[in-house]
Amino acid sequence: MPFLLARSAGSPLVDRYGGAAVVRIVLLIEATGLAVLTTAASAPAALTGVAVTGAGLGLVYPCTTTITLGRTKALRPGAAVGTMTSFWDLGILAAGPLGGQIAAHLGYRTAFAAAIAATLGALATTSAPPPAVWRRLLGGGSLEVCASRSGSSVRYGSVLGI
């Protein structure tokens, strides 16, 4: 229920403030819920952790979609969202068995701790400078993509200035 409430009530925030800004907040909420779940000593505490985690996770997909569409502009939104969704689905497909194996061999607390690490990794990724900033920091080079409705071309420059 918190997942659905967060998604329906929070989606306008994504439109208003942007996916990158909102995802940083909801990933922290998700990590907090996972931390509560990891340390829960009772069923009510565990349910609280699940609720907080769900509230955070509920907006990650809308945020990710907004970020994807912002980076692709109007070039190929269908292909961009389709690709992003495919990787989203692959992540969900891998997370279940991987989390299950961690829980089976190392315990549930370790599995939830691994989920916290993955969430914080996502947070670090969303907080990193955009690729253009890295190119400037590393000394030049560029990758230009020129596209139109009739076709596209790609011109490569050295990302590292080599």
Report d(CA 27, CA 76) in Å as an integer.
Answer: 27
Q: Is the pLDDT of residue 146 over 60?
A: no
pTM, whole model, 2 decimals? 0.76
- Residue 141's Cβ-count burial label (10 Å; 0-12, 13-18, 19+) is middle
Report d(CA 19, CA 22) in Å as an integer.
Answer: 5
Residue 17: DSSP 8-state: H
Q: What is the pLDDT of residue 123?
A: 93
Encoded tokens for 116: 């916290």
Task: Report the share of the chain in percent with pLDDT over 90.
Answer: 65
Residue 29, CA distances (Å) to 9, 53, 59, 152 in order: 15, 7, 10, 41
State the chain's mean pLDDT as an integer: 84
Amino acid (1-letter code) at residue 106: L
* Domains of the chain in sequence order: 2-128 (1.20.1250.20), 130-162 (no CATH)
Report d(CA 21, CA 25) in Å as an integer.
Answer: 7
Output 112 or 135, whichever has higher pLDDT: 112
